[in-house]
Amino acid sequence: MNNSKFRNSGINNPCPICDRTKDKDCRISENGSMVLCHSSINGDLTKDGWKYIGANSDDRCGIYVIPSEKSPRPVGINFKHIYSDRQGNQYRFNREYKPDGKKVTTWAKPLGIKESELLPYRWAEVKEAIANQKPIYLIEGELGADELVNRFGLVATNLRTKPTLETLELFKSVNLIICPDRDETGIKKALAHYEAFKPVAASIKMMLAEPSKWDYIPAKDGRDVYDWIVDGCTKEDIESAIAPFDLAQFADQGNDDNSTLDAEYLATLTSYPKPQRGLLPEIFERAITGLAQKMGLSPELYYADLLAAAGSLIPIGTTLLIDSGTDYHCPPIFWVGTVAETGAMKSPKSRAILSPLIELQYNAEEIYKAELEIWQAQEKAGESTGRKPIGRDYYLSDFTLEYISQTISKQPLQGFTLYMDELATFFQGFNQYRSGKGNDRPKFLSAYDGGAWKSNRKSDDTRVFAKRTGISIIGGIQPSILQNIMTDDLSSEDGLWARFSWIRLPLTKTPAPSGGKYLVGDLLKGLYCDLSNLPAATYTLSKQAQQLWADWHDEMESIKLVEASPILRAIYPKMKERAGRIALIAHCISHRDGLLVGVSVETLEKAISFTRWLIAQSKELYAEFGIGDNPEMSRILKFVNRFQNCGEIKAVQVRAWWSTKKPKLQEIRDFMSKVVNLGYAIAKGDPTQSNYIVIVTRGSQSSHQQIEPLLDIALTVDCVAVNNPVKTVNDFSFDTEPVDCGDCQVDCVPVNSQIEIEKDLQTSLTELTAYSKNGIKNHDDFTDF
């Protein structure tokens, strides 16, 4: 019920329900469509044409309304509504009303895309109107939009789903008029649209169909713009009903249903864009995309691991200078934790990035053993004049703090990666040998910033000091374990958790093996070699990048000030600086000769885009753990993350998953129904019956631009031997003199490929070959990792 004005009952204003005239205890709305009857609090009285809908909030009066019936829809007519996508393909949506009033809607043929990828209804007209600054009417349903266009020449549209970020981009600077249906569902949708479009629209107003009849708001099936037009309204009626947007007056303040707020909150957590393409060179993005498709994952899920591994190989002392006045530098250090259920491919994902690093470690071990053997022989013969060989550590997976100190001491100019398949052992291992009284945690907090490392061991008088460090961390952990560790952490405000980039890996159906070759391992092996050979340097931001950084700085600082949760508040300063780290690593990957020290605005823009994705990942994870200002959403997020892509789900399955006291099955079905109402699942059956089933979907995660995967290379090759095998990218030359090798036994590279040569890419095959550390030996070497 809204705040409409009411007239008290009296001699000249009898109550339509009880005919009261003796006092003012009954009240009648000014337009006569609602009555608050004091004589019939419980609906004991009946009156033709009136419907009792319950007692008012203080139980003093019964509420009666005149039901508003929807206008009959044309029976037997197949309405055809045409939508299109961004590629210009058209899709026909059919609507037909049966004699019993039921509506049947179908697509003329399977879409092949998500409805969220369709352009808004009647998009060509809407696009032109936006360009000409004409108002756009946003209607619920295509029929109402068609009537506004065909009868009155107005511009109207409809959205098949809640607006995605790409849809909002289309509506920049729009003058929008939101036209809700006159029911609770319509109001909630309109409020959600208002919040979504508010940041991009030039103006937002509302138009209420039959504005004098909004005293009573039914839960559903209320009248709408189409009903009003069919009943004879004019264009002048439509335009005179336009008013400033103010639907809050119609919200039922006593209603405990917060589904609108829930939907908006969930949307902020799950409807985020994927990172812009271009953070990495195209050859890497295409190769990783191809590998990701083979594993049933999104390519950006690999990027954080790659940034961490690559950052550890950039020589210590390399930084990105942000502000010379405060000596503000960003090191190429990156910590990433993949959070996933068992079986979600978190280990294979990380191994795809780490396998080339393992190859380098193997080579380093072989070199170390050979050098050590020679040194020992010389030492034994009394001929050794050099120092004992020192082995290079590219990564550590089983370590103590003492061994980390030794590694830092023996390679003070070279960083390394700590890789743990299960990060839980890392977090739980802090000070485990010191009864909780050690300084492991503070040392790692300092190491994240590349700070000094000093260690003194009394037992053997060992002293270790390094002015700078370069330790990256890569690992995985299950969500329930991480939640327990975070919950029990008494030092959570020291920023340890904010130092990690958390990647929430969904549980997906892994595609069946289908063969094919990708060469991801060869690509990364060459890249890792090149990064290790870079000179230590101080990089700077270009002038345009400096301005972009200032805007980014202000944005993150403003968000930090209004965040209530201390754990979430710690995210934003770290993420602000993390964009600089990402930009530095990405720049070094793209400019492996080390000659260009200025980081471009384009690189920083892509780094910020990836950082925004990381922020969304962390916020969703923390919300799933119940951290923040809406812990009620925690279970819904857990449910969505657990059951998306799992097909049909029944209440008994959800009950088995429920971690706390098991509720009744009907309560489970009510929970499932709420997830459906929030738009994160589709339902089959009646939620009050045992056959109720849901299929979990997910909020929109739109991508700025699709990346063409680097898939199987179709080869018709002649093999030639190369005099000097390619070691790194810089060793490669198109002028290398080939020599016929006969039967392809040693140091062969394919020279004829059916891949189309791209101007900015050279050829994919040539560049892949250039990244191979040892050269491609034979056809079977074309493997992924």
- Taking only the tens place, the pLDDT of each residue in 709-719 is 554 433 222 32
What integer pLDDT is reported at residue 277 of this predicted model?
Answer: 87
685 three-state secondary structure: coil
What integer pLDDT is reported at residue 336 of this predicted model?
Answer: 96
Q: Could you tell me the residue range of the domain that residue 525 belongs to? A: 510-536+713-785
39/174 same-domain check = no
Provide the edge-to-edge strand list for the sheet that holds 6-8: 6-8, 27-29, 34-37, 62-65, 51-55
d(CA 620, CA 624): 6
157/45 same-domain check = no
Check if the beta carbon of residue 677 is closer than 8 Å to that of residue 259. yes
Q: Is residue 274 part of a domain?
A: no
Which of the pair, 482 or 256, is modelled with greater confidence? 482
154/83 same-domain check = yes
335/478 same-domain check = yes
Highest-confidence range of 232-236, 266-270, 456-460, by mean pLDDT?
Answer: 232-236
Q: Is residue 290 part of a domain?
A: no
Residue 419 pLDDT > 90? yes
Distances (CA, A) of 549 to 22, 561, 579, 588, 740: 73, 18, 9, 19, 54
8-20 mean pLDDT: 90
Residue 113 pLDDT > 80? yes
Which of the pair, 155 or 188, is modelled with greater confidence? 155
315/443 same-domain check = yes
- Taking only the tens place, the pLDDT of each residue in 55-90 is 776 678 888 887 766 766 777 677 889 999 988 899
Residues in the chain: 785
Q: What is the CA radius of gyration of the chain?
A: 33
pLDDT range class, residue 782, cuts 50, 70, 90: very low
pTM of the predicted protein model: 0.58
Residue 573 pLDDT > 50? yes
pLDDT range class, residue 114, cuts 50, 70, 90: confident
Of 255, 284, 318, the residue at which a domain comes to its end is 255
Residue 593 pLDDT > 90? no
Highest-confidence range of 212-226, 250-264, 521-535, by mean pLDDT?
Answer: 521-535
Q: What angle do CA 330, 333, 334 make, to 5 degrees?
A: 120
The count of other CB atoms within 10 Å of the CB of residue 617 is 21
447-474 mean pLDDT: 84
- Taking only the tens place, the pLDDT of each residue in 647-691 is 888 888 888 887 666 788 888 888 888 888 777 788 888 888 888
- Which amino acid, residue 242? I
145/245 same-domain check = yes
Q: Is residue 501 part of a domain?
A: yes
pLDDT range class, residue 457, cuts 50, 70, 90: low
Q: Is residue 292 part of a domain?
A: no
Across the chain, mean pLDDT equals 79
Check if the beta carbon of residue 409 is closer than 8 Å to that of residue 464. yes
185/88 same-domain check = yes
Q: Is residue 333 part of a domain?
A: yes
- Taking only the tens place, the pLDDT of each residue in 472-525 is 999 999 988 998 888 777 666 788 899 999 998 887 777 887 776 667 888 999
In sequence order, what are the residues at sequence separation of 6 or more whose Cβ sits closer than 8 angstroms to the Cβ of residue 341? Answer: 478, 479, 507, 642
731/745 same-domain check = yes
102/231 same-domain check = yes
Highest-confidence range of 165-179, 309-323, 438-452, 715-729, by mean pLDDT?
Answer: 309-323
382-386 mean pLDDT: 75
Q: What is the pairing mode between strands 175-179 and 135-139?
A: parallel
Strand partners, 156: 137
Q: What percent of the chain has pLDDT over 90?
A: 32
